[in-house]
């Protein structure tokens, strides 16, 4: 496994394949207040490509082209937040998408534990550390521990997706899951537009 750190954007010509696992690190959980600091990506080959975002940056042409590429599936865990953060920063709406947290909630109805660390332990026997989760992602120079933590959030999502595909098919919920994934970019837009907690489908 190797980490490749870039500044501001993905390098020209980098092809991460047809399914790209993506996660973001921010200064907090409010996309309007807390800036996007780091985007980590993996094509499922054991390598992680990380883009450090400068304060005030609003453009990343190569990254945005990949986010909006209809032939590249963007793979998230809790994509609702990451899609909103990327859209708020760069104006690029990620699609099509897949979210392992949504998949978990659809098939692991016997538990309320759907965090990535739990899923990797329960489904793949992989233990990752969350020690760096609340560190300062806005620091000008990130530590190796931070980069390794960030990478761990995307390196196993392809394997997790494969496991959920089997479970979704077994429980006859694959079509329902796909409908949820298709709606996810719109859900992120609603969050940014001012309906983060409102159920617009309620009476």
pLDDT digits 0-9 by tens, 145-203:
999 999 999 999 999 999 999 999 999 999 999 999 999 999 999 999 999 999 999 99
Write down the domain spans for the chain: 3-193
Question: Binning pLDDT at 50, 70 and 90, where does residue 1 land?
Answer: confident
pLDDT value, residue 14: 98
pLDDT digits 0-9 by tens, 107-132:
999 999 999 999 999 999 999 877 66
Measure the CA–CA gap between 87 and 127, rounded to whole angstroms: 31
What average pLDDT does the structure give for the chain? 96
Measure the CA–CA gap between 145 and 89, rounded to whole angstroms: 25
Among left, alpha and beta (phi > 0; psi -120 to 50; other), residue 181 is: alpha
Across the range 3-12, mean pLDDT stands at 98
pLDDT value, residue 123: 95
pLDDT value, residue 134: 73
Count the alpha carbons within 13 Å of 129 in the hemisphere toward its beta carbon: 8
Position 101 pLDDT exceeds 70: yes
pLDDT value, residue 132: 66
Measure the CA–CA gap between 183 and 151, rounded to whole angstroms: 27
pLDDT value, residue 95: 98
Helices within 54-156 (DSSP H only) = 61-68, 79-90, 100-107, 116-119, 144-152
Q: Which fold has domain 3-193?
A: Nucleotidyltransferase; domain 5 (3.30.420)
Across the range 24-41, mean pLDDT stands at 96
Which two structure tokens, joined as six digits, stand for 169?
Answer: 């098919």
């Amino acid at each position: 496994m190797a980490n490749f750190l870039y500044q501001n954007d993905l390098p020209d010509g980098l092809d991460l394949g047809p399914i790209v696992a993506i996660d973001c690190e921010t200064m907090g959980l409010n996309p309007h207040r807390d800036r996007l600091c780091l985007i980590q990506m993996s094509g499922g080959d054991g390598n992680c490509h990380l883009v450090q975002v400068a304060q005030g940056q609003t453009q990343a042409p190569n990254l945005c082209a990949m986010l909006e590429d209809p032939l590249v599936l963007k793979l998230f865990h809790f994509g609702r937040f990451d899609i909103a953060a990327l859209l708020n920063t760069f104006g690029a709406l990620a699609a099509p998408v897949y979210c392992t947290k949504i998949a978990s909630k659809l098939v692991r109805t016997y538990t309320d534990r759907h965090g990535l660390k739990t899923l990797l332990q329960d489904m793949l026997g992989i233990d990752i550390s969350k020690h760096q989760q609340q560190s300062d992602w806005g620091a000008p120079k990130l530590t190796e521990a931070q980069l390794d933590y960030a990478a761990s959030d995307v390196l196993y999502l392809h394997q997790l997706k494969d496991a959920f595909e089997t479970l979704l098919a077994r429980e006859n919920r694959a079509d329902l899951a796909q409908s949820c994934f298709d709606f996810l970019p719109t859900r992120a837009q609603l969050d940014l537009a001012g309906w983060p907690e409102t159920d617009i489908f309620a009476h």
